[in-house]
Amino acid sequence: MAMISRRGALGGMAALAAAPAAAQEDFPSKQITILVGFAAGGGGDISARWIADYIREKWKVTAVVDNKPGAGATIAMAQVARAKPDGYTVALATTSPLAVAPYFQPVQYQTDKDFTFLFQYLVSAQPLFVRSESQFKTAQELVAWAKANPGKLNWSTASTNGGPHIATEAAFRALGIQAQYVPYKGGADAILALLSGQIDALVAAEFPPYAASGKIRLLAESGMERIAAYPDVPTYKQLGWPVGVPIFYGLVAPAGVPAPIVAKWDALGKEMMTAPGYADLMAKLVSSASFQDSKAFANTVVGSYREMGELIPKLGLKQN
């Protein structure tokens, strides 16, 4: 049997220990995959594709967007949670699958344990809107009609059991409205349903081109601030509705991504805020650029998740 010297054994161990460090220093050196839990064409998909283009330009590696729509974007979250924690597989992170959906449906991850939060890059407007030919000119008119016609109002959101869904459901309950929620795979599909008359109202981020072309009418904003481009549209809270939910967009990876790789993602996100074309992207999405580094973004997401855990029972909503 061959004998291995102590010096040789130590040298082998040192080489093995150096390998992960070298991999971190070389990052990125292969394809980056961004999982998106919504159908192509929506606001989240558009922003993820912009980031993929930016990665290709800055890091000189291939970057692809892989759409995994369905189940309120929780399919994509579960897939990234199971991925190798090497920084090469990341996912679009939004309020709905991380802060809200776990309380209403079975999910294969724990928001506060199974992710490395990389960075936040925007806060999205998510207004309640109707077709331009709708009889509802204001949120108050929609409420009055829905009260007078129990069960006849059909509505939807871009993400079932997401923040805007819960905020709107809470408002309807508080106002004594009986309405029919109709689920779709994403905002793009829901928009088509609205425009074709299958539903009466929608809450989604994919509104900008339809608002600009006059095809829809905004009634209220589900987030905490009025939309700068539409200052006359009140927020839910300003209407006296019980809940307003800010919608964040960011990137997450599996838990355990090494700190040096997280730092590289942090730096990319920060640089992205001032990159050519980023302001145009924000204008296209009618969103606000809002950078948070890994630590701050983790605090935002986990804080929202725990806040929803306290709020949902108070609203009397049925949980998983």
CATH of the domain at 186: 3.40.190.10
Same domain, 102 and 251: yes
pLDDT at 66: 98
Residue 287, in any domain of the structure: yes
Residue 148, in any domain of the structure: yes
Total domain count, the chain? 2
Same domain, 103 and 173: no
pLDDT at 289: 92
Residue 293, in any domain of the structure: yes
pLDDT digits (tens, 9 = 90+) for 219-232: 999 988 899 889 99
Q: Of 205, 221, 237, which residue is a domain's last?
A: 221
- From first to last of its 320 residues, the chain has per-residue pLDDT tens of 444 444 454 455 444 444 455 556 799 999 999 999 988 988 899 999 999 999 999 999 999 999 999 888 999 999 999 999 999 999 999 998 999 989 988 999 999 999 999 999 999 889 999 999 999 999 999 999 999 999 999 999 987 777 888 899 989 999 999 999 999 888 889 999 999 999 999 999 889 899 999 999 999 999 888 998 899 999 999 999 988 888 899 999 999 999 999 999 999 999 999 999 999 999 888 888 999 999 999 999 999 899 889 888 877 777 66
pLDDT at 2: 44
Contacts of 102 (CB under 8 A, 6+ apart): 74, 109, 110, 111, 305, 320
Could you list the beta-strand ranges (E) of the chain. 32-36, 63-67, 89-94, 115-124, 127-131, 153-157, 179-181, 201-203, 216-221, 247-254, 287-292
Same domain, 155 and 103: no
Residue 320, in any domain of the structure: no
User: How far apart, in Å, are the Cα atoms of 304 and each of 41, 90, 197, 246?
Assistant: 27, 20, 34, 9
pLDDT at 11: 52
Residue 85, SS3?
coil
pLDDT at 188: 84
Same domain, 117 and 133: no
Domain residues for the domain of 60 are: 30-123+247-315
Same domain, 188 and 261: no
Residue 25, in any domain of the structure: no
Same domain, 251 and 109: yes
pLDDT at 19: 47
Same domain, 132 and 216: yes
CATH of the domain at 94: 3.40.190.150
Same domain, 102 and 119: yes
On average, the pLDDT of the chain sits at 90
pLDDT at 79: 98
